[in-house]
Structures are given as C-alpha cells and as structure tokens.
Structure 1
C-alpha cells in the first residue's frame, strides 16, 4: 500500500463515530488535566488504563494519545497566566508567557501558543507518517541481539538523561527491572519473588504500577501546593488577536522549533521537555534582540511550544515501529497495546494497518479539536484554575481506588497501588524521578526475553552482541552515554582545581 492508500485507510478508521467520540473525550480530558498545575499526562493515562479493558483497542489508543497531547496544550495555560507550568514541558512557556500576561497580553500569548502547538503537531504528524513505514521495515532486519542493545540504550538514556542525578536515574531503572522480574518465568515456569502469594504469580499489574507511581504520587505532591487560584486575569477575544507583525515574527520560529522537536522526540530518553528548551536556546542564539527573551518574546515561546508538540508526535515512531518507548508516557501507551494483546514492533503496521494508520490520522483530528477547544473556550479553562484542590484531589484518589479494583477485580491490586504510591512519594522526596522506573518495568521482561533468544540462537556465545554491526554500534552508544559524562565531569573538576590554584598563587 502506498502513502495515499494508508492515509485513506487511516481516515476511514479515525472518522468513525466511536473513534471520534473517544478522540474528543481524550483531548478534552487532557486539556483539563494539563490546565491543573501539578497533574499531567502520566497521572491521567494511568487513571484511564483500566477503562481500556472495556473498549476497542484502536479507540483506547486514540483516547490515550489524545490525553497525552491534550495535556501539553492545556499545560501552557497555567504557565502563561500563573507562572505555574501544568506539565514539565510547559516550563519554557513561563519564561516569556508570564511576562506577556503581566503586560496585559495574556490572551495574545494563549493564542500564539495554540497556533504554535498546532503547527508543531502537524509537522510532527508528517514526519511520523513519512518515516514510520521505513523504520518498521528496518526493524524487520534486526535480530534479538540488536533489540537487546537497543533496549539497553533506551534504559541507559532514560537513567542518564533524566532530570536530577544520573546515578539516581539509573537506580530507578534498576528498581523497575527488578519489579519486572516478579512472577512466573515464562521460559522455565519457576516462580520468582512471589513469596508464596498467589496474586503475584502473574507479576505486578502494569495498571497498579502506573496508577500508584504517577496517580497517587502526583496527587500527593500537587496537594502540597496552593489551593484555589485567585486574581486570574480576564482574557477577551480582542486581546487574543495578533497583529501581522506579531504573526510574521513567530512563523519561522514555529517551523524551526517543529524540526528540532521532531528530531529529539524520536530519540529514546529525550522527549518534549528537552526539545522545548533546546529550541528556545536556538531562537535566543540566532535572535537579533536576545535581550527580549525572558521579558515577553513571542519568538521563544512559539518555538518551544512548537517543538514540544512536534516531539510528542514523533515519539510514537520508536514506540510503535520498534517497541521501544522513548519516555514513561510512551511506556504506558506500550502497556495499553500489550493489554489488548497487540505486539508493538516492526510487524505492527503490516498486521494492524487499521490501528496504526487510524491512530496516526487521529492526531490530525485531535489537534483540530484542540484548536476549537482552546481558542473559543479559553474562558472555561481559566475557570478550571479556580477549582479548589480540597475537592479535586480526594475525588481523584477515589477514582484511582475504583480503577485499580476494576482492572482485575482483585482487592490485592488496591493495596499494591497504595504501596507503590507510598514508595513513589518517598523516592520522589529523596530526589528520585519515577519515569525511569516505569521504563525499566516495561522494558525489563522484553529485554530478558530477547537476551535469552539471542543466546539460544548463538548457542550460548556472547560474541553475538559484538559481532553484529547494529548491536555493536548500539553497545558503543550505550557505553558513551555512561562514560562521556564521567569524563566531562573529571575535566570540569580539573579546570576548577586549576582556577583555584591560579587564584591562590595570585593572592600569595
């Protein structure tokens, strides 16, 4: 099938009444969650995972994907109006969006971010539709040893590129790998770390891990913030209309940001947050008036929002075509596929063309919905910021408990959610980020399966990991992620010692 046939098939799937309904529901809920500071896509998707048991697989993915990119649209609203990013990737919008709001241009900033998000999403969609089939064909040429090294690279990137300490990131990956070993070994039938408890024979539920780690933990952290927001600015239709000069000044930054975001979004362990910061730095570097950045520069804000949304679309490329999630949200999307018995990887497009292209085309539909939801209904989302957390967060906790119970009808999962939530909050307080743990939990069993398969095919010869060109290249890249930061840190220490010695000699 050529690209036109694939797009036609995708439109036929995406435009069914069922998929349109779940797409609209996903982007609406995503915008709502994104507007509320402290929550995010991880918490929303983890809450919705139990719902996916009862609806069609394509509709499930369309809804969850809509929640994902919907939160990014909504996240910039709180960032611009309150200087509180609704999602981490919207933090860059605070730099210029909030100063614009203080200058009485909050409506203009919201309009520009919506347009930039739409432009970035559409360019990301084009990259996804164009590159995914080719990468899928490339994936068919990879062997188990190549997949082992690819997963090792993704896990290393998740640990070393996560915010905070690299060591802590790697520790969280290891904890996720250990949690993934709980249950019955599918190769030998031996029970591992179940401690005689029948409910652990099938391992820890993905839904329980997700809802505890991101649902409960995020609610506890967010509840420590402010209550209902006061003093919200009034946004009128007139204040949202940009001038021709303002539109022209943001056109090129949007395109550059979308290109940067599309590239970094497809890399495991990077994601939209890093892409938005990089695009902002690029715009400031090439600007004729860099002094405006941080004081209300539309160029920087539009570039970062475009990059952010483009990265979300291209993040689906490695997840769907290779089965390698780039971040924790993609890991949850991978989990949703597994829940429905669908194997992500190079054969996904060939075996489930309706699902793949229906999901891809739903991105276009969903982003059109988001433009309609964000521009005319901006007053509604401003009102959402006024909901007292005293009522909002207890309701979310009740939904988490019901969701955990409904996923398997096993009360044990409710206790697991509570335990994981407590563990996640404790680790977060110590500076550990939860996202690498989720990646380790998802990729751990897949890594083990491919590792065993590679050794079976090579008759126990470990040279298979260094004799295959792709495997060797990925191994070198993995080692570089570990070694290069150490070398750079040592060089920086040497420079600091040299400076201190020179300062001491001058004083003497």
Structure 2
C-alpha cells in the first residue's frame, strides 16, 4: 500500500522515470522492438493502414502479459505510420490516410533523385515530434484521469453514449451511414449472456453465441480481412522500387534549415488535434501542410518537392498519434479506429482503461507511456539502418504476401477461443465490411458500438439502481448536462457548418466561372 501511495504521489517526470525503469527491462525492450518492426513491415504493404495492421497483428498480443501486449500494439501503431510514409515517398502509394499528405512533396523529391533525404527528414521529424509528444503526454494524461475520477454513473453514461453518437456522426458520410452501423455494433455488444442476471440474450438457441461475439473476430474480420478482401479483388501489379543506402538518408544543411521549424509547428498542431474525436491524425497532417504552405521556409517549392511540406505533416502525424492515446488511457474512449483496436487489445487482457487506470495499475499506465519514448528511438534506428530491407519488402508481390497475412489472421482468430464459430463470424463480418465500405457505410461505429455499448448499458443500469429508477437522474447532474449540451452542439452544429462551407465554396466557384458582363 505504501508503494502504491508513493507511485500515486509522483509527478509527471517522476512517473515517466518510473515507467522507464519498468519499460527498460529486457523483455519489454524486445516487445517494443517486435512491435516497431512488425508495424513497419505491415505499413509497407500498400493499402494496409494502422487500423488493418493493428487488427491483423492483434491476435499476436494476447499470448503476452498485459503490459507486454500493450507495448507491442503501441510500437506497431507507430511503425505502421512510418511504413505508410515510406511508400508515399517511394511509390506515391500512401500506406494509410495520414500518409497521403507525405506524397504531395515526398514523391516529387523521389523523382528528383532525393528520396534518401526525404526519408531521412521523415525519420527525424517523426522522432522529434513523437518524443516531444510523449513528454507532453506524461504531463497531461494523469491530470485528465484524476479530474475524471469525480464522474458518477450519470456522467459516464453521458460521456460514453454521447461520445458514440458524436463519433458516429463525424466519421463522415450520411446520417444513416454512421448511425445504422452504430446500432448494429450496439446489437453485437449485447449478444450472449447478461453479465448481471446470466440470462441469454438473442442467442436463438445457438450455444456458441452465449459467449458473445469475439472482439478479436470482430476487429480482425471487420477491418483486417475486409481490407485484404478489397485489396485482393482490386489487385494490381507490384511496382518496381530502386535501392537505397543509409548514407543517402542524411539531409543536407539546407534541408535541416528548411525543416527544423516545421518539426515544432507540426508537432504542436498534431498534439492539439490528437485530443479531438474523429479523424484527427489525418486532419492534423492536412492542417500542418496548409500552415507550412504559408510559413515554410521553402514554400515557393510547394508541389515540386518542398522539404518543409514533408517535415511538418510528418511531425503532426506522430504527435497526433501520441496525444490521441490520452482520451483512451484517461477516459476509456477511443477517438479513432486504431485506438478502438487498442481498446480491444486491452479488454483481451482484462484491462479497462479510464480514470481508475493510473491508480489501479500505475505500472501499466506509466510503463506504456515510457515505452512510446523508447519506441520512437527504436524506429529512428530501425528505419535509418534497415532502409534496404524495407525496399526489398516493397518488391514482394501481393500474391505471395497477402495469402500469408490471411493465414495468420485465421490462426489468430481461432487461437483466441479455440472456436470454429469465431472463424465463421469473422468471415461473415469480412464480407459485410467489404460491402459497407463499397456502399459508403462507416465501419468504425460498428466496432465502437460493440466495445463501448456494454459500458453504456452498465452505467445506465448502475445509475437507475442509484436513483431508484428515476430517469431524470441522468439529465440532472451538472457535468452530465454539460456533456449532453456539447453533444447536441456537435451533432447539430457540425453538419450546418459543413453545409455553409460547401455553399460558400460553390458560390465562389460560380462567381469565378461567370464571364464579366459586356460593356457598350
């Protein structure tokens, strides 16, 4: 107890040092290395982003203890983003959405024979912004968690249900395209035995359904297998990639002078954007690119290979990836699909992130944060020294690589519960996910609904018990009322703002194309 009180009394820097003392153990260093290595390799496969990669590699983590599994997932998260940037520069094929911006300036640099310095700038920008983001995260995450300790059932009900509604609405697409998948995910979340009464719910007499839908089958099937199915159906030739040596990665003095300010501007933008729900990492890279086009030292070269237009978005990418973990660890709310897969990994290990995590499991909380710092260093070393290996990976044809990945997915799904039923569920969800993507339905709300739906139900039932069945309890607590007002503003206000922006753009484009009136 005295040790726990000592850990709880630590400040951010003491907590980070405590986490480093844990994460620097040989087995956890190996876990960070494995995660970074596997993530980078997965990120090099065009079309497989962090969500798909995390879902594919998820089954590998539940053979470890909780902290080791989390470190593997976190290292893989960073690695996938770097791998996606590599394909953006060399092939003009972004591995994932945030890396799209990297192709704007990275690919023109590669065509000029400057792919090496471009990849070097990416490595440095990612390291600087990621390291700074981890240090800032150590100061912010614990206070946010401590502030949320005062939340009761009404506040958590508003936070979880309101968060689901907001996330489903701002993921893009139509209202039905977000809310219908959310409703389907909530239904999947309540299948099986009731945790309180033990009664079977919607099992239809099938014994295997009583255990509920496997979250591993759900994540891997809906994201990993569905995306692989899309890649297989829309197959293409593997492009040729030349060779690079590590010495060619060293940026010139002008490259450093043009990019060092972009590292800090992009890092600040990314860290702030990562705290927001929705596709914050992609938005951070786009916003950073716009800022660099206005303030970058070589902004006159934009579109032709501006190094600042590459450094800023890459810094924003990694800083946003770091800060986006704060809502997950401190509040238990994943603000992106990749973090939803990380939440799956935590639940596989019996861990529920939230305000109590720092007090109930401080070693995991601080150890995970410290491992992000170590992972940044490992990625810098890996991607500088193994560039020729990554180029060789890009030459592997998809017809060899993809079947291997599919086989690993099937093995991981089956090994989780040793259930053939889970394989069938994953196959159905893969086909369903493929068609949902094809017809512009959002698949992220399905996973979020299945994951957070049981929490919504638990807080609702606990609140009803505490209030003796009075439903007004959920709308009478001041913090809960504030959350509901914020949800209403976001859900109703964002579509209106989007409509006004589109209308303004249309009117400006019409005015630009209208010929001037003839004068007599």
Partner of 2:445: 436
Rate the CA distance shift 1:262–1:387 in 2: closer, same or farther, 3 A.
same
Which of the residues 134, 138, 146 maps onto 2:155?
146
The answer to whether 1:367 aligns with 2:372 is: no
Structure 2 partner of 1:345: 354
Deviation, structure 1 residue 460: 2.8
TM-score (norm 1): 0.94
CA deviation profile, 1:122-145 (whole Å, cap 9, x unmatched): 111012111111011101011121
Aligned residue among 157, 160, 166 for 1:157: 166
Q: In the alignment, is residue 316 of structure 1 matched against residue 322 of structure 2?
A: no
Write the distance in 2 (CA, Å) between the matches of 1:422 and 1:66: 29
Q: Is this contact kept in 2: 1:261–1:306, CA < 8 A?
A: yes
- Aligned-pair CA distance for 1:334: 1.6
Distance 1:490 1:330, change over 3 A: closer
**CA contact 2:297–2:308 (8 Å) conserved in 1:** no
Give the one of 13, 27, 35 matched to 2:36.
Answer: 27
Is 2:245 the partner of 1:231?
no
Partner of residue 125, structure 1: 134
- How has the CA–CA distance of structure 1 residues 237 and 59 changed in structure 2, closer, same or farther, with 3 Å as cutoff? closer
Distance (whole Å) between structure 2 residues aligned to residue 492 and residue 371 of structure 1: 40
Question: Relative to structure 1, is the Cα distance of residues 385 and 228 closer, same or farther in structure 2, using a 3 angstrom cutoff?
Answer: farther
- Mapped to 2, the partners of 1:384 and 1:239 lie a distance apart of 19
Match runs of 1:156-195 below 5 Å? 156-195=165-204
Q: Identify the match of residue 124 of structure 2 among 115, 127, 138.
A: 115
When the two structures are superposed, what TM-score results if normalisation uses the length of structure 2?
A: 0.92
Evaluate the alpha carbon distance shift between residue 489 and residue 50 of structure 1 in structure 2; reply closer, same or farther with a 3 A threshold: closer
- The match for 2:471 is 462
Which residue of structure 2 aligns with residue 252 of structure 1?
261
Inter-CA distance 100–492: structure 2 relative to 1 (3 Å threshold): closer
- Pick the aligned partner of 2:316 from 307, 310, 327: 307
SS in 2 for 1:372: helix
Change (3 A) 1:440 1:254: same
1:453 maps to 462
**Deviation, structure 1 residue 171:** 2.5
Determine the C-alpha separation between the residues in 2 that align with 1:500 and 1:87.
34
Write the distance in 1 (CA, Å) between the matches of 2:379 and 2:387.
Answer: 11
Q: Deviations over 1:186-221 (max 9, x none)?
A: 233332221111111121000000110111111112
- Map of 1:400 onto structure 2: 409
Distance 2:487 2:99 in 1: 29
The runs of 5 or more residues in structure 1 that have no matched partner are none
Quote the Cα distance in structure 2 between the aligned partners of 1:212 and 1:99: 36
How far apart are residue 262 of structure 1 and its match?
Answer: 0.9
Distance 2:336 2:201 in 1: 27
Q: Does 1:11 align with 2:20?
A: yes
User: Does the CA contact (< 8 Å) of 1:156 and 1:481 recur in 2?
Assistant: no
Measured in 1, the distance between the counterparts of 2:467 and 2:90 equals: 59
Query: How far apart are residue 295 of structure 1 and its match?
Result: 1.9
Q: Distance in 2 between matches of 1:164 and 1:70?
A: 29
Q: Quick one: distance in 2 between partners of 1:279 and 1:356? A: 30
Instruction: Give the match's secondary structure for 2:62.
Output: helix
Q: For residue 409 of structure 1, what is the aligned residue in structure 2?
A: 418
Cα RMSD after superposing both structures: 2.5
Q: Deviations over 1:341-375 (max 9, x none)?
A: 22311111111111111111111111111111111
